Structures are given as C-alpha cells and as structure tokens.
Amino acid sequence: MRHGNYQDDSDKPVNWRIVKHLIPYLMESRMRVALAMACLLLAKGAILLIPFLLKYLVDSLEGANLQSLAPTLLLGLVVAYGAARFANVFFSELRDTIFGKVTERAMRRVGLQVFRHVHALDLDFHLDRRTGGLARDIERGTTGISFLMRFFVFNIAPTLFEIAMVVGILLFNYGASFAMITLVAVTAYGLFSLRATEWRTRFVREMNAADSASNTRAVDSLLNFETVKYFTNEEFEARRYDRELERWEAARRRNRLSLFGLNGGQALIIAVSQTCMIGLAVWQVREGLITLGDFILINQFMIQLFLPLGFLGFVFREIKGSMANIEKMFELMAVQPKVVDDPLARPLQLTRGSIEFEGIQFGYTPDREVLKDVGFSVPAGHKIAVVGASGSGKSTLVKLLFRFYDPDAGRITIDGQDIREVTQASLRRVIGIVPQDTVLFNDTIFENVRYGNPDATEEEVQTAIRLAHLDAFIRSLPRGGETMVGERGLKLSGGEKQRVSIARTILKRPPIMVFDEATSSLDSKSEQAILQALREISRDHTSLVIAHRLSTVVDADTIMVLDGGSIVESGTHEQLLQQEGRYTALWLAQQKQGGSDDPQPESSGI
C-alpha cells in the first residue's frame, strides 16, 4: 500500500471477504446483538400489521358495516393502528440504542488495532508515508466499519425478510398477479442496483483518492509552515493545493453524475411497478374482486415495501462505498514490518552494558552501500565517539543499534546477546537517545519532559529539567512548565527543544546512552554547561556519541573516524592528532573556523 503516490485502483473489485473481519466483533457482544435482533423483529411485525389494520378500518367504514360495528371495536382498531405505528418507531430506536455499543466498541477496537499496527511498522514505511492521506484512510475505514455493521445486519437482511413476507401475503390473499409484479419489480431493482453500483464504485474510489491526496497536500504544507514563509511560497502552495482540489472536484462531479444515473434507474423501476400494482388493484376493486380496504392494504404494502427497498439501494451503495474505504484500511493492516521480533525472542538481559558491532555491512537500497565491514566495541561504562563528515554513515549506526533496520551482514550484540534475538521493546528500553532533530508533542514543556518516563514524579521531572539547564528558561515563561510548545515544538527554538530532549533522556536514565549531535543547536556557553551535565549523568554508563564538532568529544575514551562507510582511524584525541591523518585534518579545519561553527543563542518563539 502506497501513501505517497495514489494509484488508480478504480477498476479493482470490492473485496467482500472484508465482512468476515466483522464477525468477531458481533460474536463478542452476542447478547446485545440478540436483543437488537428481537427489537428488529418486533418493529417489522408492527409495520407488517399496519396495512391489515387499515384494511379493517376502511372496510368497517363502508355503508352497512359502519352501522353494525360496535364503537369500542372501531376505537380499538384506531388505537391498535396508533400502537403499531408507535411500536415500529420505538423498537427501531431501541434496536439502534442497544446495537450502538457494539458498533462503537468495534470502532474503538479497530482504531486501536490500526494505531498499534502503524506504530509497529518499520522506519521505511514511516519515511514513505503521507500523514494526511494515511489519517484520512484510517478515519474513513473506522467510520465505514460502523456503517457496514449497522446496515448490513439491520437493513439488508430485514428488508429481504420483509420483501419475502409481503410477496407471501399477496400471493396467499390476492393471487399470483400481485405477487408476480412485486417479485419482478424487486428482482429488476436488485439486479439493476447491483450492476450499477459495481459500475460506480470506481468513482467512489477516485473521489476518496483525490480527497486523501488533497488532505495530504494541505497537512504537508501546514506542517512546513515556516519553510513556506521563508521562501514566500504561499501562492505556490495554494496553486498546488488547488490542483489537488480540482482533481477532487472532478472526481466528485463524476461520482454525482453516476449517482444520478443510478437513482434515476431505480426511481423508474419503482414507478413502473407501483403503477402496475395500483392499476391492477383499481381494476379488481371495480370488478368487485377485492374491497376498498384490500385496495388500501395493497397500496400500503407497496409504499412500505418500496420505501425500504429504495433505502436498500442507498444502503447498498453506501455499503459498497464503505467497503471501498475499509479495504484501504485493511491494506494498511496487511503491510508487514521488515523488522520483527523472532518468535523465540526473549527480553534483553542487561548485566554490564557493553556493545559490539561485528562486521556490519548495510545499505538502504541494494545499490547504496552505507556501511562497509564496520566493527568496534563500546566497553561497559566507556564513552565512545564516532566522528566524520556528513553522509559517512554515523547516524546509520544509531538506527541499527535501535534496530530500526537490520544489517545486511554482521551483527550487533549487547552483553553478548545478538539484538536480533531479543525483543525490540526490551532493547529500546535500555537505550536512551538525544537526537539531533528533536520533535516534540503539541503539549506542555513539563509533559514533553515527562515523556521520558510517564510514571515519573513531579520532583523527578524537575530534577531532570534542572540537570538539562532548562529551569532558567522555564522560569522566564509566564506559564512556566505548563507552556504549550506547539505542533512539533515549533514555538521553541532549536536549542530549547534540544534541552527538552536532553531532560527527557535524563529522566529515562537508561544504562546505555546515545548522543546524536546532541548539542548541535546550542550556543557555546550552553553547550559546555550541558556537556558537563551529560558527563555527570553518563558517568558509569555506556555512551555512544555521534558528533560533527570534534570539540565536544575530546574527552571520549576512544574516538573513531568514519569515512566512506568504513572506520579509517581510532584512538584518543591526542593519539589521533599525532597520527596526522583524517582526524587531524578535520580538527585543523574546525579550529580555523574558530567559533563560527557554534550557533548563536536563539530567542524563543513563545
């Protein structure tokens, strides 16, 4: 399933096997379903009784019958008619109320299942996804499940039952003519609706694809609001969005025209059949074969029959549309992550925290090899730094350690345990990271820090804030730690976001710590203060530091230089300078720049 490029699958047939996925949710609440079905039968029984009550009332009002009829009996028929009307509405509403919890629970369960599944998918999927379209697919899918469950159970099957009952009553009481007209009309209506709805399903899919594409474009543009402003591309973004809306408008128009054709054909079938039925009934009344009450009964049955039949056409169309929506969601559910736990995977047993990279080879694509036979050790309690130019593969080592990807060759072990043989949750639980690009939740500063350990006390959060040198900034804010950071943390500067990230990792206090350009957004003064704090919290912890600025890793136990996907040098800062190799060239280049590579202090957007 692709969320970046919307493929034209308009000719793809609807997958009716989707229905089987709903059965477990119905079985889970079988008592509610049974009660709802009982209410349905009572409602249908009441509506089938109404034409007979009308017949008896009309026949009773004719000439001599009216004179001989007891007033109480006449009143009883009127009251029974009203009671039947009320019973039909009451039991229908009661049915919907009882069954509502079944559909709501199903939507909740499916929504949670999809949410967990998307979180379980690998990094490649999330790099390729289009957030707006994905969110819209999930929203339409869960809504479609509610519609499908409700109307498949309570509209299609009951309407077919009602049709069978009406045909049987007409056949038994009034002969084959009325029953045959009804049967032919229903069959013609059903076949036409089926074929026409199958035909127009492609327009529903086209409309949904255009809707998802336009929503994706809008969300993508709004998420990158600042970039749009930097390059004054508001009009460019508006034109791109309008092109997507134009496709959506055209798809909606084709869908509307196809709906007009479907509704017109259905209306013609209903009109012709009702005309034939009424014409036959009028002739038989004139010939004295049936009474005026029978005429009313037949007319009422036709109205009651074709109202739900007309609605059945709508329900059938909506069910097909819902299934087109649901299949998108189930396609998403069918996507399997490339990185999965081994069936025999066990929790990681951390004893000391030593890490070993052994002969690692890795490429994001077969023709793009990033790491070439990389091997090194991170002894327990040591600080190992990896430096090198951009694109040398430094951050890829972090992704492999977190097992966002598996290496093409070689292995990574922690305390001698291959990370492919332990559960991903237990692996990531013992590793903390301060990433280069910090993205925050649209919540308060305090809650963003607490995310490192949702069970932490307020005192523990405040301690982490203080160690990350974030407390002075928070005190300067009118709302303090309750200040909202905005979507993706856009209300904070880069340095402030990085401090929040550092505080979050401090709060987690994992045995293994990874710093991926952890101070890249800080000015020199803040950097030195936070480096000292990081040294304190990482003391006796295993640390892997990915760095571009060499001044931040001079105290590392070992520094490795990664170049072209291979480790070309390793040693302490002094040892590497003595070698006068690649590290020395990087060091001298940065020294010539002086402080120019240190970012200036940034002001908060709050």
Q: How far apart are CA 339 and CA 402, in angstroms?
A: 11
A 10 A CB-CB count for 402 gives 17
Q: How far apart are CA 542 and CA 379, in angstroms?
A: 7
Is the C-alpha dihedral spanning 586, 528, 509, 380 positive or negative?
positive
What's the CATH code of the domain at 479?
A: 3.40.50.300
What's the CATH code of the domain at 137?
A: 1.20.1560.10
In a domain, 427, yes or no: no
Provide the number of structural domains found in the chain: 2
Q: How far is CA 447 from CA 455, 479, 501, in A?
A: 11, 13, 12
In a domain, 299, yes or no: yes
Q: How far apart are CA 314 and CA 155, in angstroms?
A: 10
DSSP 224: T
What contacts 333, CB < 8 A, 6 or more positions away? 113, 114, 117
Q: Are residues 38 and 183 in the same domain?
A: yes
Q: Are residues 330 and 441 in the same domain?
A: no
3-state secondary structure of 256: helix
A 10 A CB-CB count for 519 gives 27
Mean pLDDT, the chain cut into blocks of 10 residues (606 residues total): 42 59 75 86 86 82 59 80 89 86 81 81 69 69 76 70 81 85 85 78 79 82 76 85 88 85 84 87 85 84 73 67 75 80 90 90 85 90 87 86 90 92 90 82 87 88 86 88 79 80 85 80 66 69 85 87 89 90 88 54 40
Is the C-alpha dihedral spanning 563, 567, 568, 573 positive or negative?
positive
Comparing CA positions, the residue from 230, 28, 215, 200 lying closest to residue 109 is 28
Task: Name the β-bridge partners of 411.
Answer: 358
Asked if residues 465 and 449 have their Cβ atoms less than 8 Å apart, the reply is yes
Q: How far apart are CA 192 and CA 199, in angstroms?
A: 11
The tokens 């399933």 sit on which residue?
1
**pLDDT at 365 (0 to 100):** 81
Q: Are residues 317 and 440 in the same domain?
A: no
**Residue positions counted in the chain:** 606
What contacts 131, CB < 8 A, 6 or more positions away? 216, 219, 220, 223
A 10 A CB-CB count for 536 gives 10
Q: Are residues 130 and 253 in the same domain?
A: yes
Which of 455, 489, 509 corresponds to the end of one domain? 509
Taking each helix axis as running N to C, give the angle between helix 292-334 and helix 131-151, from 0 to 180 degrees, rounded to the nearest 10: 140
Kindly give the pairing relationship between strand 409-414 and strand 558-563.
unpaired
**pLDDT at 131 (0 to 100):** 60
Q: Are residues 307 and 444 in the same domain?
A: no
- The dihedrals phi and psi of 69, each to the nearest 5 degrees, come to -85, 130
Q: How far apart are CA 288 and CA 282, in angstroms?
A: 10
Structure tokens at 51: 């034409």
What contacts 502, CB < 8 A, 6 or more positions away? 434, 468, 470, 518, 530, 533, 534
Structure tokens at 178: 């009325």
In this predicted model, what pLDDT tens digit does every residue of 432-447 receive, in sequence order?
888 877 778 888 888 8
**pLDDT at 595 (0 to 100):** 46
Which of 459, 492, 509 corresponds to the end of one domain? 509
In a domain, 340, yes or no: no
Q: Residues 451, 437, 361, CA angle at the centre, nearest 5°?
A: 105
In a domain, 371, yes or no: no
**pLDDT at 358 (0 to 100):** 92
Task: Name the β-bridge partners of 431.
Answer: 512
Comparing CA positions, the residue from 6, 219, 224, 2 lying closest to residue 129 is 2
DSSP per-residue string spanning 264-321: HHHHHHHHHHHHHHHHHHHHHHHTTSS-HHHHHHHHHHHHHHHHHHHHHHHHHHHHHH
In this predicted model, what pLDDT tens digit does every residue of 578-593 receive, in sequence order?
988 889 988 888 887 6
Q: Are residues 325 and 442 in the same domain?
A: no
Q: How far apart are CA 355 and CA 455, in angstroms?
A: 28
A 10 A CB-CB count for 127 gives 9
Q: Are residues 327 and 441 in the same domain?
A: no
In a domain, 383, yes or no: no
In a domain, 151, yes or no: yes
Which of 334, 367, 382 corresponds to the end of one domain? 334
In a domain, 370, yes or no: no
Q: How far apart are CA 406 and CA 400, in angstroms?
A: 6
Q: Are residues 441 and 314 in the same domain?
A: no
Structure tokens at 30: 């079988």
H/E stretch holding 427 reads helix 424-429
Comparing CA positions, the residue from 29, 141, 162 lying closest to residue 92 is 162
Q: Are residues 304 and 444 in the same domain?
A: no
**pLDDT at 409 (0 to 100):** 92
Task: Name the β-bridge partners of 365.
Answer: 368
**pTM across the whole model:** 0.64
In a domain, 453, yes or no: yes
**pLDDT at 314 (0 to 100):** 67
**What domain range is 492 assigned to?**
435-509
Structure tokens at 420: 């492919």
Asked if residues 36 and 100 have their Cβ atoms less than 8 Å apart, the reply is no
DSSP per-residue string spanning 436-482: SS----SSBHHHHHHTT-TT--HHHHHHHHHHTT-HHHHHTSTTGGG
What contacts 495, CB < 8 A, 6 or more positions away? 521, 522, 523, 526, 599, 601, 602
The tokens 């199958």 sit on which residue?
198
Asked if residues 560 and 376 have their Cβ atoms less than 8 Å apart, the reply is yes
